[in-house]
Chain A
Amino acid sequence: MHDCDSNTGCGNRWRRGGAAIGYSLFLALLAQIAPAGEEDSSSGSYQLGRGYPIPSLGLSLGGYASVKRVDLETRQPFAEISDLSLFLGWDNGARWRAFSELEIGEALVYRGGELTSDESEFEVERAYVDYLHADWLTLRLGKALAPIGHWNSIHADPLIWTVSRPLTTDAGFSHYISGLSLLGSIPGERGVWEYQAYVDNSTRLDPRPDNRSPAGEVVPGLEIGPFDHAVGARLVYRPDSESWQFGLSLARFGIERIAGIKHLLGLDFQWRLAGVSLSGEALYRSDSNEDAGEVGGVFLQAVAPISFAPRWYFVSRAERFRDETVSARADTLSLGLAWRPLPPVVFKLETRQGRGNETLAPDGVFSSLAILF
């Protein structure tokens, strides 16, 4: 249990009530505008969760948004519009396509009785061009998500099951690469191998690098900056049944303004059966700089539908993470509920408790509402 005082703002029930009313109004609005969000798209009209296609120009518009409330034991609670992202895609129907994601982060933050937009940031999260040479080879040039683990490649709030992000997927590497990637899929006997290999030079190619890290906000020393340079690859195997997948990530990189070359090994898996999914990732990072320590983490997450409450899911996650550079570690257990009234919409409620986690991932209560639009 954490102590509350007037500064932290704990116990301000009206705020929580206000957030609840806000959520309710938002959901009511959604109910008015949203048809069932299945997989349909591209018939020339807007559909929630699939965007607005303009077939005559090969363009598509879309995005996602999320609002969240974070109440950490060691910090003042706050609520924010945490992400407001716009997707702009282009596809010439042949071999070329392009995609960009522009984001306003922390557009509005409500903390300590004040509403502010001072923390808002405009970011180019992704901007790249693809040339499809063959199914086994696509050339990608530009800024993209770092293909390290599964979580980082789908980190948007509407796609993940918890409000908080596992440190294993957050604190050991830059979330973005800028440079050239080769990617593709190669059919196997009973499944498909997918790969992405990349060469990054963010220092020269990304004029406004950004690598916000929730963990870094808590521990400045843990904030990992953008890649100075990097080479790496990710390999994923998916069987035809799509009931499971396994991924391997390798990277060698330097971080801006930090000495040393880091080597990273990551493993991840997903397994699904009858609506239940089990997933996990593990990461190990070593450093050529003797003053820097090793970083390692592993988490296991389970998501199960609640049989008596349609579209409600129970979520649990256990994680162990340590970072020798800042002599910090965290063992945490997160328990939560997720409600998906429509596939592109999710409301999440989560509590995180742990041992030795005060520095990296303090105990806390989180809630969010996220939507793909």
Chain B
Amino acid sequence: MMRRPALFRFLAIPLVTLGLLGGTGHAENGGRAIAVVVAAGDSWNGIRGGMSKRLLAQIYRKQVVLDDKGIRLHPVNLPASHPLRAIFSQAVFRRSPLDMAGYWNEQYFQGISPPHVVASQEAVMRFVADTPGAIGYVAACRVDKRVRVIYRLEVKKKLADSLCR
């Protein structure tokens, strides 16, 4: 059971280091990052000229809902039980998904639903590639040509290694 992930890591880390995994831009950090992704091509209009952890938090809290050209943003999440979701939540909100429940209870009462949830990183890639305005996150080692990386969240190496298993 343990052989495959170990072998994958053994191959993936040098490949990312060499920048051979799908246009990541900052390939030297590719194996240690969560990649924030949008659809490949030029459909992404940008938000306030760039991306930041702060802006990402506002998008995932649905405080920012439109891009610079007025296209609706569709943030997509992994399930609350997914390890990458927990890491993303801590990195962006400094809270666990469960700690965000109170916030979403209040938003639900206001008619605002939390971000769409899909089951896996592959599902995130498909959703982002197929949905105008979609924005998601995957382990950098999962990035391929279907998506474009617009921001990286650096995480500790131990965590990063676990993301690519």
Contact = CB atoms under 8 A, between A and B. Distances in A.
A159 B105 contact: yes
Given A40-B79, A343-B105, A135 B74 contact: no
Contacts of B65: 132, 135
B72 A49 contact: no
Given A95-B70, A134-B70, A42 B113 contact: yes
A256 interface: no
B64 interface: yes
A136 B54 CA distance: 17
Interface stretch (A16-24, A86-94, A209-217, A327-335): A86-94
A156 B102 CA distance: 13
A192 B58 contact: yes
B66 A134 contact: yes
Interface string A22-65: 00000000000000111111110000011101000000101010
Given A95-B70, A99-B111, A343 B98 contact: yes
Nearest to A55: B116
Interface residues of B, number: 37
A42 B117 contact: yes
Contacts of B109: 64, 154, 156, 159, 372
A158 interface: yes
What DSSP secondary structure best describes chain B's contact surface? mixed
Contact of A187 (B58, B108, B117): B58
A54 to B, nearest CB: 12
A96 to B, nearest CB: 10
A281 B108 CA distance: 23
Given A39-B114, A134-B66, A344 B105 contact: yes
A97 interface: yes
A203 interface: no
A40 to B, nearest CB: 5
B98 A240 contact: no
A40 B64 contact: no
A40 B70 contact: no
Contacts of A135: 63-66
A185 interface: yes
B74 to A, nearest CB: 7
Interface in B11-63: 48, 54, 57-58, 63
B80 A40 contact: yes
B6 interface: no
A240 B105 contact: no
Nearest to B101: A343
Central interface residue in A42, A153, A372, by most chain B CB within 10 Å: A42
Contact of A50 (B93, B98, B111, B113): B113
A158 B105 CA distance: 9
Contact of B97 (A38, A60, A95, A99): A38
A41 B101 contact: no
B122 interface: no
B77 to A, nearest CB: 7
Contacts of A53: 113
B91 interface: no
Nearest to B99: A275
Nearest to A64: B109
Interface string B88-125: 00000110011011111110111101111111000000
B23 to A, nearest CB: 28
B63 A185 contact: yes
Contact of A240 (B57, B71, B77, B111): B57
Contacts of B105: 49, 158-159, 343-344, 372
Contact of B80 (A38, A93, A242): A38
Contacts of A154: 106, 109
18 contacts: A36-B98, A38-B98, A39-B80, A39-B101, A40-B79, A41-B104, A42-B114, A43-B118, A62-B108, A87-B111, A89-B111, A94-B72, A132-B65, A135-B63, A153-B110, A159-B106, A185-B64, A343-B98
Interface of A: 36-43, 49-51, 53, 60, 62, 64, 87, 89, 93-95, 97, 99, 132-135, 153-154, 156, 158-159, 185, 187, 192, 240-242, 343-344, 372
Given A37-B101, A94-B72, A159-B109, 10 more contacts: A38-B100, A40-B117, A50-B104, A60-B113, A87-B108, A87-B111, A132-B65, A134-B70, A135-B64, A159-B106
Which 10 pairs across A and B sit closest by C-beta, in order of nearness?
A99-B111, A343-B101, A38-B80, A39-B104, A39-B114, A43-B117, A40-B117, A89-B111, A42-B116, A41-B114
